[in-house]
Amino acid sequence: MTHSDILIIGGGIAGMSAAFFLAKAGKSVTVLEREDQPGYHSTGRSAALYSETYGPKIIRKMSTASRSFLITPPDGFTENPILSPRGIIMTAAPGEEAKLDAILTEGRANGANVIALTPDELKARIPVINTDLIIGAAHEPDAMDMDVHALHWGFIRQFKSQGGTLITKADVSSITKTDGKWHVTLGNGQTHSGDIIVNAAGAWVDDIATKAGVKPLGIIPKRRTAVMVDVPADVNAHGWPLVANMDETLYFKEDAGRLLVSPADTTPTEPHDVQPEELDIAITIDRLMTATSIEVRRPGESWAGLRSFFKDGDPVSDFDPADNSFYWLAGQGGYGIQTAPAMGEYAASIICGNGIPDHMQKLGVTKDALSASRSSLTTGK
């Protein structure tokens, strides 16, 4: 039996970013991760894009709040830059004029550099694109690729060097509370105790809550598929921005000379080691071939991952309303990597009783936006 101030369940990007900031604040922290590799689930399966105009309002604020950490991480955090230039182009179809206008206007109001493109300007950037059904596009040149491995392992290495403990193959099977302390038992019979539990178990957060006797908040894991596709020999995709359509049914991104393509699927599913479905792969290829002149004879490797959402689409970073020693860090949806530095710092600051960090307050981040008791969690928006 070991005892820590904080037990974090889940060693993905959410758990490890919070672990890093909590250890930095002087807390003794143990992270319990079920898999051999802490990035095995959602964290290791993302499209690795950083965009300040993507996602709901609170996500956009937390992405902006993460930017300086991602550009200038602490000394020794990583040998490689975490961000590298990519850009994103969002294309609009007839009828999506208002959406396009909103992305341009709101993006600029948030300080993002967003440029309007005509169909011809788009075609000049991405020659394979079929512009018959495109009325215009928004180009965010400052959107970035992220080195997810460098970010995740930067958190892990510095967490450990600050005295933190990460235990892998640590499947939390039961959780009890006696005399105000949590006792967590693993599948192998080991037990760990802590004053506070941070529930960062991704798609499994409700399962962890149930084990702890805490009321689940209603997480909905949604499957998303990605397929690698070869680019024809006469097409030079090098340096293309990520291209996504505004109705979120397709995006593609150049990746080492090939294309990573996703049908942007959002199929609700039980939490498990999710794999791509044949039908989703076929849909991906069909949509790519409709949107571009690229002929795909044989898709390359494919994978699927879970993006976990609450009913209102916003994440939760807060103590449970009924138990102020059980902290939820969950529902990061499709934005958990790009928001991780700010989400980890925020969680650590709230847990340590220090309130919202100043730089986030300046961006308008409120406790209510990330609250576990906000009414939209129970009623939906």
Per CB under 6 A, residues contacting ligand FAD are 9-15, 32-35, 38, 40-43, 45-49, 170-172, 200-202, 204, 224, 226, 305-307, 332-338
Distance CA 233, CA 197 (A): 53
Smallest distance from the beta carbon of 136 to ligand FAD, in angstroms? Answer: 23
Q: Residue 14 or 250: which CB sits closer to ligand FAD? A: 14
How does DSSP assign 139-171, residue by residue?
Answer: EETT-EEE-HHHHHHHHHHHHHHTT-EEESS--
Question: Nearest-5° angle of CA 345, CA 110, CA 84?
Answer: 65
Distance CA 82, CA 358 (A): 24
Q: Which of 161, 200, 163 is nearest to 74 (CA)?
A: 161
Smallest distance from the beta carbon of 126 to ligand FAD, in angstroms? Answer: 19
Smallest distance from the beta carbon of 38 to ligand FAD, in angstroms? Answer: 6
Distance CA 337, CA 43 (A): 7
Q: What share of the chain is helix, strand, coil (3-state, %, to 5)?
A: 30, 30, 40
Smallest distance from the beta carbon of 44 to ligand FAD, in angstroms? Answer: 7
Q: Residue 18 or 136: which CB sits closer to ligand FAD? A: 18
Smallest distance from the beta carbon of 150 to ligand FAD, in angstroms? Answer: 14
Q: Residue 305 or 357: which CB sits closer to ligand FAD? A: 305
Which three-class secondary structure string do you get for 258-272? EEEEECCCCEECCCC
Distance CA 160, CA 183 (A): 22
Structure tokens at 375: 């009414």
Among all chains, which residue has been given the structure tokens 């990597």? 337
How many CA atoms are closer than 13 Å to the CA of 123, on its beta-carbon side?
10
At 281, the amino acid letter reads: I
Smallest distance from the beta carbon of 240 to ligand FAD, in angstroms? Answer: 16
Q: Residue 316 or 377: which CB sits closer to ligand FAD? A: 316
| Burial (Cβ within 10 Å: 0-12, 13-18, ≥19) of residue 269 | middle
Q: Residue 15 or 136: which CB sits closer to ligand FAD? A: 15
Smallest distance from the beta carbon of 229 to ligand FAD, in angstroms? Answer: 15
Q: Residue 46 or 292: which CB sits closer to ligand FAD? A: 46
Q: Residue 48 or 122: which CB sits closer to ligand FAD? A: 48
Bridge partners of 312, per DSSP, are none
